Structure 1
């Protein structure tokens, strides 16, 4: 009996038990976020989920719970449910919709993403941000927000705690876009179609794109979604390139650990220890895109996948938000915040230029 009692925590139910309170809280927060979004469509549910997480860990009545019995489940949600959300995100994409844009437009969108990525990464280095922060912020801002940050963190092996600041910044700047960009539509002389293209090319997260573009009507919303999803497709190749470079770096480090005389100083990393070129969940993301492109999936399955993506990504963002200590963020994230705002302006300018080229 004593032996059984000792081994019980090693069973799957025993290991899962500490996760349940945090996961249940994250799912409940998603339900609240979706309900608020249904009442106020201008507020994206994913943004609300992040804000609820930040509030939960910073309010006196709930901060102890977030750091105590809920922490294991919240950390699990921030890492693993984020990956599940990325897989389901693929069901929103169809290669046929992207091809309908025409090669010139697709080329311009790709150009915006690559220039945004390079420019934001350079800004991160210019502002002397530490570690993987420049890369994570560049990925999130140029491709698809928190989902892209999660994918890049996986291929780089970035600690979960180090993804919190990039997610907070992409949420902040995406929320600013919802309020600021519609005010600039008429001063910049944009009609509904071009405004939608601008939003799709320049706003970070899919939910933020929808919230911003819908202010100008269905034409703007349709254009914004197609262009935004074209950007999302670039998640896989960019992650693959970084994954390949990371494996090469690990290989060089392993070879450098052998002395000139041939005596090993350090044990080289085993091939299985190397980061994957493309994480398995990104392969799942690509598979979902191809499956959606075939047209074989009934609309009900696509809708169910969209709901699953909202729940998984919303729970992940709540978990990440529940790691953001506002007081600490103000102390350590000031330079990163200024850098992110500069990137936000850069990407908006690049997207604006691309929109005019699309119409020429």
Structure 2
């Protein structure tokens, strides 16, 4: 009788876990799917599916009541942690390392300058305004490298909380969208060529969606330059993640008993492996496009999961300082635009 009772309890627990994972994953997929449809609309295409997913998640999480007998947190957490990392790994199929190397020294030099300057400047602002170190680092990574994807890649390294990750993504989403609209408006008045405009867009805007949208006025040549420069920044996510991991966790490295305990973002190497596979063309182009589409939706599901964990009180708790740091960091990045154009013209 006792054994039967235990069996029933185990069965009920397994059912609970299944429902938790299943319904949580279904919720994040549903929000990601809706975001994908919204992202096809004219204005919202600037924001992109990932940003819209986190916004929809935040709206749902703060307005819609969850069923009191079903715990969806298991699936939501799985989306915001595991699926995000898988999405970042598959994002490597977007990179063709040969194209970046063929672009030559000026592109890589510009990307290194942008990332180094932006990271150091925002971290300096964080110390100056005494903002949370983890949140500041996430904002710096999102501004300097590749927006939301960089933030979610760096977050586990700095041991960032989900609300910090969500707040950083939200800041980057707004600033990147404003920046893209600003570039589109200023394009006719800028005394630079279409190619130089593309370089500027790719070097200073946050998300790939922002870069693609802002590059449209400059035609095919400008758009291709913008995407190429942006992908160079994405590639540099790997060394930046490793450097951040080293500096933040170097005190704990000696305490690690084996290689698995070392504070290294192993999934970044998966990202690099996928890039190599794509560069060497080991799978057909159709396969690469499939994995990119899968990456997009996995990242969107992860963003929806982050959004579902956002509470408006979290923004009130951190105050306006992190937002100010993000704004000043972006303005500082824009201020070195003449230097970036000068370097490009040198070559």
Same fold (TM over 0.5): yes
Distance 1:247 1:6 in 2: 42
1:103 to 94, 105, 112: 105
> Is 2:24 the counterpart of 1:5?
no
Distance 2:259 2:9 in 1: 31
CA contact (8 A) 1:44 1:211 kept: no
Structure 2: which 5+ residue stretches go unaligned? none
Which residue does 2:283 correspond to in 1? 297
Length, aligned pairs only: 341
CA contact (8 A) 1:106 1:230 kept: yes
Segment of structure 1 superposing worse, 123-132 or 154-163: 154-163
- Secondary structure of the equivalent of 2:39? helix
1:53 to 32, 44, 57: 57
- Cα gap change, 1:140 to 1:69, in 2 (>3 Å): same
> Is 2:316 the counterpart of 1:314?
no
Which residue does 1:92 correspond to in 2? 94
CA contact (8 A) 2:146 2:234 kept: yes
- Secondary structure of the equivalent of 2:306? helix
With the length of structure 2 as denominator, give the TM-score of the two structures. Answer: 0.90
- Secondary structure of the equivalent of 2:188? coil
Report the CA distance between 1:359 and its aligned residue: 2.1
- Cα gap change, 1:162 to 1:197, in 2 (>3 Å): same
List aligned pairs for 1:1-360, cutoff 5 A.
1-8=4-11, 15-40=17-42, 41-59=45-63, 62-64=64-66, 69-251=71-253, 270-271=257-258, 274-277=261-264, 279-360=265-346
Report the CA distance between 1:25 and its aligned residue: 1.5
Give the RMSD, CA atoms, in angstroms. 2.4
Report the CA distance between 1:202 and its aligned residue: 0.5
CA contact (8 A) 1:85 1:312 kept: yes
Report the CA distance between 1:170 and its aligned residue: 1.3
Instruction: Describe the superposition over 1:6-61 as per-residue Cα deviations: whole angstroms up to 9, x where unpaired.
Output: 333676x76343122221111112211221222324442222212212221233xx
- Secondary structure of the equivalent of 2:289? helix
Report the CA distance between 1:272 and its aligned residue: 6.6
Distance 1:324 1:195 in 2: 36
Report the CA distance between 1:270 and its aligned residue: 4.7
Segment of structure 1 superposing worse, 330-339 or 134-143: 330-339
- Cα gap change, 1:327 to 1:217, in 2 (>3 Å): farther
Structure 1: which 5+ residue stretches go unaligned? 255-268
CA contact (8 A) 1:112 1:351 kept: no
Distance 1:246 1:272 in 2: 17
